[in-house]
Structure 1
Amino acid sequence: MTSFNTNERDVLHRILRARRDIRHFRHDSVPEEVLTRMLEAAHYAPSVGFKQPWNYILIRSLDVRRRIKSLFEEANQEELAKLSGDERSDLYKSLKLEGIMEAPLNLAVTCDRDRDAPFHLGQGQMPEMDLYSTCLAVQNLWLAARVEGVGVGWVSIIDPEKTAKILELPNHIQLVAYLCVGYPIEFKDRPMLEEAGWKSRLSLSNLVFEDRWGHSPK
């Protein structure tokens, strides 16, 4: 079995801490060989029952991206309305929460809920495991992008059903992630929401229990 030295371990942890959700992009295209390495990294993610339920839709069409951008604007107004009277309303308005038109590439990551049907190994008691597996593929892609100097931004403020219609997804294919991909203006030292004052990183010691909920480790 492959072992890793201390330097390799430290590099991995540095990559994990350097990952950022990117919203500001340069217009440079991501070379095909770089994109291929990112997708291959995603494809090596673990998956329940070795189902490998993911597919990837590369979205370069400006027309498609404009339609997705309209969905974002519609949903963003709905989210803003929820903050009516909240002191964070102005801060929310100032946040850059997508880079749909700025990024040279948009990428939809989907989950094929019917792959390997009718028997789904490992999903009998937890049927959402294929969705979780697809999220692991997204994380692999994101980390691989970071070491290539490529930025990724996850756009979650869009209606998934309307997005699925635009992308012509079959009924058994579920959208998991809509990503903006490209070279960033910069990689910030801290996450954007932390830097903007939306929220600080939680203390790990307050999140770890032992044996049962709420029981602190010895």
Structure 2
Amino acid sequence: LSAAHSAPSVGLSQPWDFVLVTDAGVRQAFFDHVQRERQVFADGLQGERAERFAGIKIDGVLEASVSVVVTYDATRGSPDVLGRHAIADAGLYSVCLAIENMWLACTAEGWGMGWVSFFRESFLRELLGVPEPIRPVAWLCVGPVTHLQDTPDLERAGWRRRLELAAVLHQDHWGASPGGDLGDIAVVGGAVGEVSP
């Protein structure tokens, strides 16, 4: 959590709060809600996609050692949050940086972390007593793992493959592939790697 709280934020607003969820009843209520939302999603799938999704574990709400809900407070630092006047969502992006910092710290310590996204914001706000206008952004499941995977769970399950960097890299204008010396700007595994357009 210290790593999360040390994240950069627009205008140093630090618009996050962290709710540690230890109550078994609260976890169970959230788990039940997640299962209902999972079913809503599953009901929209057909054929092979439905079968594949049925076998994917999407949460560790009841198994996690620690559950952390990260919230966003758009009023923190107001009314003059430096840098947010032109990009209203910059505060929300700052919360995501805090989450990423926490994820990297967990990984460095050999812990696993998962972001549960099968929930309705209004449900979680009511469950935890989060006041308006504060928004619950993420329910994070954290705990020790026997080993960290190199390949994301959804890719291993065959749900989707990770895109190559070259597929999402543009130069100067959208859709223009990088050329020249920009081919060696990708850092992978501590070494500079080439990006093939």
Q: Answer yes or no: same fold by TM over 0.5.
A: yes
Partners of 2:6 and 2:96 in 1: how far apart? 12
Partners of 2:123 and 2:108 in 1: how far apart? 33
Which residue of structure 2 aligns with residue 91 of structure 1? Answer: 52
Matched, 1:69 2:31: yes
Partners of 1:144 and 1:170 in 2: how far apart? 29
> How far apart are residue 185 of structure 1 and its match?
4.1
Partners of 1:80 and 1:206 in 2: how far apart? 29
Gap runs ≥5 in structure 2: 180-197
Which residue of structure 2 aligns with residue 53 of structure 1? Answer: 15
Which residue of structure 1 aligns with residue 82 of structure 2? Answer: 121
Of Structure 1 and Structure 2, which has the larger fraction of its residues in strand? Answer: 2
State how many pairs are aligned. Answer: 179
Residues 58-80 of structure 1: CA deviation (Å, up to 9, x unaligned): 00100000110011011000000
* Matched AA of 1:81: D
Which residue of structure 2 aligns with residue 105 of structure 1? Answer: 66
* Matched AA of 1:157: F
Partners of 1:151 and 1:165 in 2: how far apart? 27
Q: Is the 8 A contact 2:10 2:94 kept in 1?
A: yes
Q: Is the 8 A contact 2:110 2:147 kept in 1?
A: no
Matched, 1:44 2:22: no
Q: Detail structure 1 runs of 4+ shifted over 6 Å in the superposition.
A: none
SS in 1 for 2:28: helix
Which residue of structure 2 aligns with residue 182 of structure 1? Answer: 143
Which residue of structure 2 aligns with residue 25 of structure 1? Answer: none
Partners of 1:191 and 1:78 in 2: how far apart? 24
Percent identity over paired residues? 40
Report 1 or 2 for greater relative contact order, CA contacts < 8 Å, sequence distance ≥ 6.
Answer: 1
* Matched AA of 1:151: G
